[in-house]
Chain A
Amino acid sequence: MAISSSQSPRPLALSKQGENQLTIDWSDGHRSVYSWKQLRDNCPCAGCKGEFGQPPDPFRILTASELAPKPPLAPVEISPVGNYAYKIVWNDGHDTGLFTLEYLRQLCECPLCKTT
């Protein structure tokens, strides 16, 4: 039998819960809950991680656009990438983070995952 992706849990459905939460129903019956802020804070893209894992310089001079008032953070689209990840397009234009399925499972904020 070919090695298939069925060996690890897959999302069956994504839905928006309330104003600022995402839920993912997984093939193993688990339901994950994420807040927009948590997803944005944990964006795995090279820019957010800082080049090669270095955090952004806390003493950098903020640009005018960074200081301007912004609408509340929210995704515009959460689209699958191949068979292994999701790309989140945010309302501030950021769209370079690819969240792998394993990473999303790690980030799950549901009471069950938080305690274990």
Chain B
Amino acid sequence: MTVSRPWRIGLRVVGLGYLALLLLVPVGLIFYRTFEHGVGAVWASITTPAAIHAFQLTLEVTAIAVPLNTLFGIVMAMALARGEWRGKGLVNAIIDLPFAISPIVIGLSLILVYGARGWLGGALADAGVQVIFSVPGIVLATIFVSLPFVVREVTPVLKEVGDDQEQAAATLGAGGWTTFRRVTLPSIRWGVAYGVVLSVARCIGEFGAVSVVSGKISGQTETLTLLVEKRFSNFDLAGAYAASALLALIALGTLLAMTAIKPRREEGDT
């Protein structure tokens, strides 16, 4: 199909125009609105105690959720790509659920298990542990929504590289752990890295599920995305833009990391 030049340019203009109107102009405007009153005001607004705490909490939650999901993701990907077992199809389907379910439903589901009147609520209250309207609830919600990323990035890479080298290592007398560390891990590392980047972005950016379970207590259970919403509802538009710009910067950093990792992942570069 060799499209004539006018057609090609026409399609290009339509495609890029759509992208510009939907993506670029809005995001550019966020930065413009943020900095229209000067950098000083922005700095003051992202260094208030509430904002600093929100930023710290967001990073803490991410630092707990991402390693756990990475570990789970690698183990599960190995089982899915290398093993044959009963229930594999079912597990495969369940792993995709967090992508398909509304974050609000995820938040509600956690309340129904860990809330005051939930399945485990009584036992947890007796033990003096508060999950809902507290940090553990935010962590659980974040783990839930970011669960599939590493599995879904690593499984295809494992299938692509095959198990010839692993079998060779085993034949030469390497144990399971040595084979994994010296042969498997190096060949999947860019896939893992890509999955980790996607997970981090999702953890930092999660809003719906976290907003249901957090209770939004300023300085305690307020993450960065919740801070944006609260400032907006309190008519602190400049503050909402400043926090948004910070999140948008993190998103741009994510895009850079994705762009840097993607070709390596696809070439299976080791």
Report if A and B associate in a common complex.
no
Interface residues of A (CB under 8 A from B): none
